[in-house]
Amino acid sequence: MTLGAPTASPPLSVTEHLDRILGSVTRLPAVTIPIAHALNLTLAEDVHAAVSVPSFDNSAMDGYALRRVDAAAATAETPVAFRVVADLPAGSAENPRLGSGEAARIMTGAAVPDDADCIVPIEDTDQGTQTVLISRAPQAAAHIRREGADVRTGDTVLTAGRVLGPRDLAAAAAVGVSDLSVYPAPRVGVLSTGSELREPGTPLERGQIHDSNSLLLAAMIAEGGGIPIQLGSVPDDNNAFEEILRTHADQVDAFVTSGGVSVGAYDIVKAVLAPLGVWFGPVRMQPGKPQGFGRFPVAGEPTTAATGPAIFALPGNPVSVFVSFEAFVRPALLTMAGRSQIFRYTQRVTTSVGWRSPAGRAQYMPTIVDWDDAGTASIRPATAGGSGSYLVASLAKANALALVPEDVTEVFAGDVLTVTLVS
């Protein structure tokens, strides 16, 4: 056991700490993967249509393909008879010749014979299979979906930088593309520290608590477009902590740890990582004051190389974990995932009650946004205890974080604050 080193670094503002982090992380190298695995990833290269959509003239209706001129006189009272010379379900490769007075029965999506110039829907016929009576004169080119009406071969269908949603994947598939160049989701090892931690569901003895940070972090990583890798929890033991990081360093793009970064005698995270060059110090925020950030060296590389996985050493208090993730980890992971939009949208909202905020620290208050009947939003703290960093159960009620600037020590009802809606 190594004693935690006292904090030496001067306090950073939230912006200074975030700038250092964003200056250190870069997007991951692009990879080419099957479309089916590309949901929510950022596209690295434009996608061009390999085939037109539609790729052939096809019928928009179940009906009959024929030459319009032959049915020009058709009315309900004086229907015109056609000989049915072919039957064309969708997928048929047939291209039957159609002479005067001849029709092909055709289903939606089937290729229109070259000799036909319109489709008569079955509603305007007697649905005959040998001969068919057409009871309404068709419009020119009626119900034919033309080749290339949507996109033509070579057209740009999706542009680089796009975050791929379900419709993007469908568009890529439709234009004949099977693989996409994307920035991969960062793989993030999640490790909780603390001898007091027990698995959720385990009965607790005096002094023990359930490990909620592992779940919180893994879920936030997944929600933020990363792939969480649960490494469980380690007791306050320097060697056990370092060993688990070393074991996984070459398998992850980042680590997020919680706990053990303050000034206590058992703050192992700082004790192990600070000598490896990871920065530790206070950030002028509440909650989330003690922070650590740097790179964890991969075996065989010099500890000074900035090539190992990024490591975010967050404080242990659960609300601090949540706020720290929102403020620092989420934008960094989104950067690694190639996103250009790395911050959530904010809005200015009026507070319906007041509260106190510590001097010289930006306060992140978990809040509930209420909307009145007129659609006007207001916020109130989500928990009776304000931004107390241990209030993990009440944190679930919050749907927003309100930011109180460093120099404000009291928020009054009616004040307007910058609010980030969180999920």
Ligand X SMILES: Nc1nc2c(c(=O)[nH]1)N[C@H]1C(S)=C(S)[C@@H](COP(=O)(O)OP(=O)(O)OC[C@H]3O[C@@H](n4cnc5c(N)ncnc54)[C@H](O)[C@@H]3O)O[C@H]1N2
By CB under 6 A, tell whether 209 contacts ligand X: yes
| Residue number with CB closer to ligand MOO (192 or 286) | 286
Q: How many residues bind ligand X (CB under 6 A)?
A: 27
Please select the residue that binds ligand X; options are 42, 59, 135, 320, rule is CB under 6 A: 320
Cβ neighbours of residue 96 under 8 Å, at least 6 residues apart?
85, 86, 88, 104, 113, 115
Q: Which long-range contacts (CB under 8 A, 24 or more apart) does 410-415 make?
A: 410/354, 410/355, 410/356, 410/357, 411/351, 411/354, 411/355, 411/356, 411/357, 412/351, 412/354, 413/351, 413/352, 413/353, 413/354, 414/350, 414/351, 415/350, 415/351, 415/354
Q: DSSP assignment, residue 61?
A: S
| Residue number with CB closer to ligand X (353 or 396) | 396
By CB under 6 A, tell whether 387 contacts ligand X: no
Q: Are 63 and 122 in contact (CB under 8 A)?
A: yes
The region of 20-28, 150-158, 317-325, 375-383 touching ligand X under the rule CB under 6 A is 317-325
Please select the residue that binds ligand X; options are 267, 325, 395, 422, rule is CB under 6 A: 267
| Residue number with CB closer to ligand MOO (59 or 387) | 387
What is the spatial distance between Cα 349 and Cα 329, in angstroms, rounded to a whole number?
25
| Residue number with CB closer to ligand MOO (125 or 317) | 317
| CA 99 centroid distance within chain | 56
CB crowding 254-276: b at 16 or more within 10 Å, else e: bbbbbbbbbeeebbbbbbbbbeb
The closest of 223, 184, 233 to 330, measured between CA atoms, is 223
281 binds, among ligand X, ligand MOO, none (CB under 5 to 8 A by kind): none
Q: What share of the chain is helix, strand, coil (3-state, %, to 5)?
A: 20, 30, 50
Q: Are 255 and 336 in contact (CB under 8 A)?
A: no
| Residue number with CB closer to ligand MOO (82 or 280) | 280
| Rounded least distance, CB 224 to ligand X, Å | 19
Please select the residue that binds ligand X; options are 225, 259, 331, 381, rule is CB under 6 A: 259
Cβ neighbours of residue 368 under 8 Å, at least 6 residues apart?
379, 380, 381, 382, 397, 398, 399, 400
Please select the residue that binds ligand X; options are 113, 318, 331, 366, rule is CB under 6 A: 318
| Rounded least distance, CB 12 to ligand X, Å | 15
| Residue number with CB closer to ligand X (135 or 262) | 262
| Rounded least distance, CB 319 to ligand MOO, Å | 7
Cβ neighbours of residue 375 under 8 Å, at least 6 residues apart?
none
261 binds, among ligand X, ligand MOO, none (CB under 5 to 8 A by kind): ligand X
The region of 175-183, 263-271, 303-311, 360-368 touching ligand X under the rule CB under 6 A is 263-271
| Residue number with CB closer to ligand X (270 or 339) | 270
By CB under 6 A, tell whether 367 contacts ligand X: no
| Residue number with CB closer to ligand X (189 or 194) | 194
358 binds, among ligand MOO, ligand X, none (CB under 5 to 8 A by kind): none
Please spell the DSSP secondary structure of 99-147, one letter per residue.
-TTEEEEE-TTPBPPTT--EEEEGGGB---SSEEEE-SPPPTTTTEE-T
| Rounded least distance, CB 389 to ligand X, Å | 5
| Residue number with CB closer to ligand MOO (270 or 289) | 289
| Rounded least distance, CB 368 to ligand X, Å | 22
By CB under 6 A, tell whether 291 contacts ligand X: no
The binding site for ligand MOO (CB under 6 A) comprises: 286-289, 315, 317, 320, 389
What is the spatial distance between Cα 211 and Cα 372, in angstroms, rounded to a whole number?
37
| Rounded least distance, CB 189 to ligand X, Å | 14
| Residue number with CB closer to ligand MOO (59 or 317) | 317
Please select the residue that binds ligand X; options are 192, 291, 367, 387, rule is CB under 6 A: 192
What is the spatial distance between Cα 334 and Cα 331, in angstroms, rounded to a whole number?
5
List of residues contacting ligand X (CB under 6 A): 192, 194, 196-197, 209, 211-214, 258-264, 267, 287, 289-290, 315-318, 320, 389-390
